[in-house]
Amino acid sequence: MGAGLVPIPATGRTFRSIRRIRLSDRDAAGRLRLDSVARYLQDVAMDDVDETGWGSPDHLWVMRHIRVEVVSPPVDDDRVELATWCSGTAAVAAGRRMSLVGDRGGRVEVDSAWIHLGPDARPVRIEEFGLYAEAAGGRVVSTRLELPIPATDARRTSWPLRSTDIDVLGHVNNAAYWDPVEELLSTRGPDPRRPFRARLEHRHALDLDDEVELVADGRDDRLSVAFTVGTTTRAVALVEQLSAVDLSAERA
């Protein structure tokens, strides 16, 4: 695994599922898109907590940040096997890993950190993690934000929000943030048909009536995107090509 990506635990809870890659999950070249990967993570996480009872109104979660390692871009794969588990814990947060393996060689590794909210949508301390604790193995998850904001003179474009981008919490859904990133990747930045890493940090929620501008800085091997409203950066994404060194670390 790459740095910070823990392997599937030998003990503790691991939830598994299988998904068929549908036409709406792919780009024009057949590649499984980033927004689809994010949606798979949400879906399999919900299936997991529904089974354990952690999906009750007393346990609400909002994403703080996510890291997607596309080790082998799923292009020819028809089905993927998903495995998810708790990768770490903190006072008001938890980490969730997902490993995606395709039936024709595709592979994507995902890690994410989620803030725990109470019914009033405020962070609430978690006293114990129950059957998720063993898989976490005592690791502490960090909610620190690390991605740099693109230069202020970077290219700016409007990103009109749609009602279909909004989820039941009233904010833009996690998967929808990847839509403009995918659009930008089609013309600049890393080649998504080769291995790459994508990260996204959520600083403040986006709402339907927000006038969002994308501040994008794209180069041959990286793409940085800030989601801004006025002078406030609400989220930041960074996509980078994986080098041979990175891939060697992934296979170690």
d(CA 225, CA 82): 28
For position 250, what pLDDT does the model report?
A: 52
Please give the single-letter amino acid code of residue 41: L
Decide: helix, strand or coil at residue 227. strand
Decide: helix, strand or coil at residue 74. coil
- CA-closest candidate to residue 150, choices 186, 181, 183, 194: 181
CATH code of 15-251, in short, is 3.10.129.10
Residue matched to tokens 């996509």: 239
Decide: helix, strand or coil at residue 238. strand
Question: Whole-prediction pTM value?
Answer: 0.94
142-166: pLDDT as tens digits: 999 999 998 878 889 999 999 999 9
73-114: pLDDT as tens digits: 999 999 999 999 999 999 999 999 999 999 999 999 999 999
Residue matched to tokens 């934000």: 145
Give the tokens for residue 92. Answer: 């008001």
**Distances from the Cα of 211 to the Cαs of 207, 214, 227, 231, in angstroms?**
9, 10, 10, 11
d(CA 176, CA 39): 9
* HSE (side-chain half, CA atoms, 13 Å) at 166: 13
Distance of alpha carbon 127 from its chain centroid, rounded?
A: 26
Q: How confident is the model at residue 249 (pLDDT cuts 50, 70, 90)?
A: low
If you ran DSSP here, which 8-state letter would residue 181 be given? H
- CA-closest candidate to residue 139, choices 90, 99, 93, 84: 90
Average pLDDT over residues 183-204: 95
- CA-closest candidate to residue 42, choices 214, 177, 154: 177
d(CA 92, CA 231): 29
49 sits in which H/E element: helix 34-52
Give the tokens for residue 166. Answer: 């909004």
∠ CA 213-219-224, nearest 5°, is: 35
**Distances from the Cα of 210 to the Cαs of 160, 181, 198, 205, 235, in angstroms?**
9, 18, 25, 10, 13
24-62: pLDDT as tens digits: 999 999 999 999 999 999 999 999 999 998 776 677 889
∠ CA 38-64-232, nearest 5°, is: 105
21 within 8 A of 37, measured Cβ to Cβ: no
If you ran DSSP here, which 8-state letter would residue 211 be given? -
